[in-house]
Amino acid sequence: MINFLYIIPEIIIMTVLSFVIVLDSFFSKNNKKISYYFVQLSLFLCSYYIIDNFNFLNKNTSNLYNTSIFSNIFKLFITLSLALILHYTYKFLQYFKKYESEYFMIALFALIGMMIMVSSEHLLLLYLGIELLSLSLYSLISFNRDSIFSSEAAIKYYILGAIASGFLLFGISLIYGLTGSLYYVEISNQISSLNFSSSEYTLHAVGLIFALTFILISLAFKFGAAPFHMWIPDVYHGSLITTTLLLSTVPKIAVFIIIIKIINSIFSNLYIFWADILFILSILSIIVGNVTAIVQTNIKRMLAYSTIANIGFILLGIFTGSIEGYKAAMFYTITYVLFTIAAFGLLSELKNGESPIEEITNLSGLNKQYPILAFIFMLLMLSFIGIPPLLGFHAKLFIIQSLILTSNIFLSIFAVLMTVIGSYYYLRVIKVMYFDNLDNKLSCISTSYITYLYVFLLVLLGLFPDILGQISYYSISNL
């Protein structure tokens, strides 16, 4: 049985959600935005209770559901990031007259899904969490029904996502058949009691590797790693820019946490098998992402390929299998998410004529009209490249450091080379903003003080990377 005191954050979100669903139908068209404020309120209330949960932590509150420090830190992070994302979304939808309260409700459903994914200690619960998240993402992607690209992206993601879920379920069922349990702890006990030397194929190892491969393929699909990355550019391109903002940030943290949990707490004894899989995934992701991004003209597509490349770096950190590698991967994920929120958020605040920003050339001459915004966007791009005082530099540094510590010298050289190739397309954006002629149609849809404050905090965080480093180290050691 579960102690319901520990899942108060989830209960709060669900309660407010049910309340808003009913209440929203009574509002007239002009008052629908009250629902948005309720949603934001629920996010802050939820984060208050998550912080409150730190006071009475228990490593294992239930076999099914884990509310340890690790999951609480990430629930807090996801909730606050979602509050910021919804702020941008609200302003964007309001300006382009696409506002519907359902968008925010579905985003809350996605939040519940991610919280379940972070906390689950049971494969069935994990599957339900992933389904909750994916289903809400499908409907958010197809939200912009006037655009044919949006429907196309949603259908593509839906079909591929269903196949990936099928793979995950197949892997889970194989694990149940082999170990007789779905609890992470019991599966891991079963595997370690098998006592096979990892170099030779024993009977049991074959089955476990089979299951492991299926689960990793499905998670790589959800993460967007290279051979399974085909949906990312189309989906990012097809959906509204704020949906892309939501899609490319918080779900990645949740999927990252599952990957690290599954690898670290279930399959830690099978290191040599999953290391190979992750190695191939990460190398392919980095190459495909960085090389293909060079030829993109659409800024959402370009950032989509940069996402793939970044995911390659994250997987490279996990691949080392050391605590330093996990820490570096976690640091990288958090950095990536923080900066992607800023980048897409800033893009959602600009418009070209009467439509949102689509092409890179839409940004031309941004410096002449909005020098502060151009400077901020330059900082973000420089951080993605990995220029020293910014957070992106430390993230890349830690990954390369962990590679060197586990004596993967060639891989670290490869990572540095690929960073150099990748810097081309980020620098091109800076060039377009600073040196091209002004496109007079460019304008800003609202004041962006929150962006200023947020990026200021990010720069400050980059000057003191120790804070984030401590957090990721602390959470990894409490995994």
Give the binding site for another protein (CB under 8 A): 1-2, 7, 14, 21, 62, 64-65, 100, 102, 105-106, 109, 112, 116, 122, 124-125, 128-129, 131-132, 135-136, 138-139, 142-143, 145-146, 177-180, 203-204, 206-207, 210
Are the CB atoms for 47 and 12 separated by under 8 Å?
no
- Tell me whether residue 73 or residue 106 sits nearer to another protein (CB atom): 106
Report, in Å, the least distance between residue 373 CB and another protein. Answer: 31
- Tell me whether residue 205 or residue 304 sits nearer to another protein (CB atom): 205
Distances from the Cα of 161 to the Cα of 153, 155, 166, 238, 433, angstroms: 12, 10, 9, 16, 36
Are the CB atoms for 402 and 315 separated by under 8 Å?
no
Helices (H), ranges, 142-249: 148-179, 184-194, 203-223, 231-238, 241-247
Secondary structure (3-state) at 267: coil
Report, in Å, the least distance between residue 137 CB and another protein. Answer: 10
- Tell me whether residue 108 or residue 329 sits nearer to another protein (CB atom): 108
User: Which phi-psi region, left, alpha or beta, contains residue 414 (left: φ > 0; alpha: ψ -120 to 50)?
Assistant: alpha
Are the CB atoms for 174 and 207 separated by under 8 Å?
yes
With CA atoms as reference, report the closest residue to 472 among 402, 378, 384, 368: 402
d(C-alpha 298, C-alpha 180), whole Å: 49
With CA atoms as reference, report the closest residue to 188 among 170, 221, 212: 212
Report, in Å, the least distance between residue 181 CB and another protein. Answer: 8
- Tell me whether residue 210 or residue 375 sits nearer to another protein (CB atom): 210
DSSP state, 55? G
356 pairs with which residues across the strands?
351
Report, in Å, the least distance between residue 17 CB and another protein. Answer: 8
Report, in Å, the least distance between residue 145 CB and another protein. Answer: 6
- Tell me whether residue 139 or residue 369 sits nearer to another protein (CB atom): 139
Report, in Å, the least distance between residue 268 CB and another protein. Answer: 21
- Tell me whether residue 136 or residue 333 sits nearer to another protein (CB atom): 136
d(C-alpha 237, C-alpha 296), whole Å: 11
Report, in Å, the least distance between residue 32 CB and another protein. Answer: 13
- Tell me whether residue 119 or residue 364 sits nearer to another protein (CB atom): 119
Are the CB atoms for 395 and 340 separated by under 8 Å?
no
